[in-house]
Amino acid sequence: MTVGSGPALFDVAPGTGVVYDYKTDPTNPLITFVSWNAFTDVSLPHIAAGLASTVFVDPSGTTLTQTSPSATPNLRREKLTIGVVQHTDNATITGIANNPILAFGKENTNQDALVETGEQNISGNAYSAQGVNTKLARTAGVVYSIGANSGTDLNNPNFLNVAADTDITVYLRSFRDGVGGFTTSIITSLDPDVYDDNSGTPATISPNRFSIKEIRLVGEIGLTVVTLGQDTYATLSDALLALPLTIEVNPNIRAVPVRARVIAKVGNTDFTDVSEVEIRCEPENGFSGT
């Protein structure tokens, strides 16, 4: 669709589409192939009362239908969605969004969204202190990730069982590099003495202060990712009040679900010490926490 010869008129280019009718006879769906010629200088009957109009081509290919402000589920199934014409000033076309519902690549479309939102934690994968040290343990759990379980069960390809880890000794640590990017490194335990001051190197925390580390889980490989906090706090209570964190996150791990946040006092060597450490787990079921 494009703006027509006047500021309140629009054109629709010629095209083709398919309408699937499963309602009339679910056991024998009717497939209608539709083609239409160009529509020019189409007026907007809802321009004075609405902010936008959704435009459809009827199955005949000879008529356009417009609704304002949005389409109903029935219309989306009975007609071909072309896009949306905006008229926010109730007088002229202020924008056009060509966003048809495509008749192909449905699964790829779903995957596009799921890849961006990342894994979903279905159950378990709760973090806790491993012992009198600065390591973590994690319970068993289930994550939803496209194709992650296909090598084990093609009838259940997307729900992956993640084994418990009672003594996590490998962590991927992420922090800002000072020039607009991020640095990652492998560590064997969490270090309560450093935070991310965007200098390119983890900075030493001043005495008696607390920091927060964000814990994520890449369920497909059982990898725990640690993002260093970017501020420090005078007390444990002050740190808790800062939750949930608003921090810059490495784009490579943004879609990895946040599973916990570890608040610890500088100098701590015992994550079971509740006067200096608190581990806040995220709800079991959820997408990435960004």
223 class by beta-carbon count within 10 Å (0-12 exposed, 13-18 middle, 19+ buried): middle
Cα torsion 44, 49, 54, 56 to 10°: value is: -50
Please give the span between the terminal C-alpha atoms of the chain, in angstroms, as a whole number. 35
pLDDT of residue 290: 47
> Which is more confident, 102 or 186?
186
List phi, psi (to 5°) of 184.
Answer: -125, 150
User: Is 236 in a helix, a strand, or coil?
Assistant: helix
Asked if residue 115 has pLDDT above 50, the reply is yes
pLDDT of residue 286: 59
Find the range with the poorest average confidence among 38-47, 57-66, 139-148, 193-202. Answer: 139-148
216 class by beta-carbon count within 10 Å (0-12 exposed, 13-18 middle, 19+ buried): buried
**CB of 138 within 8 A of CB of 168?**
yes
The per-residue pLDDT for range 62-107, each reduced to its tens digit, is: 999 999 866 777 788 889 999 899 998 899 999 898 888 776 666 6
What distance in Å separates the CA atoms of residue 135 and residue 129, rounded to the nearest whole number?
6
Residue 93 has a CB neighbour count (10 Å cut-off) of 22
Which has the closest alpha carbon to 261: 246, 253, 117, 63? 246
Mean pLDDT of the chain: 89
Range list of H helices, the chain: 73-78, 106-117, 236-241
Q: What is the mean pLDDT of residues 273-280?
A: 96
Asked if residue 2 has pLDDT above 90, the reply is yes
The per-residue pLDDT for range 143-174, each reduced to its tens digit, is: 988 778 888 888 888 899 999 999 999 999 99
**CB of 66 within 8 A of CB of 54?**
yes
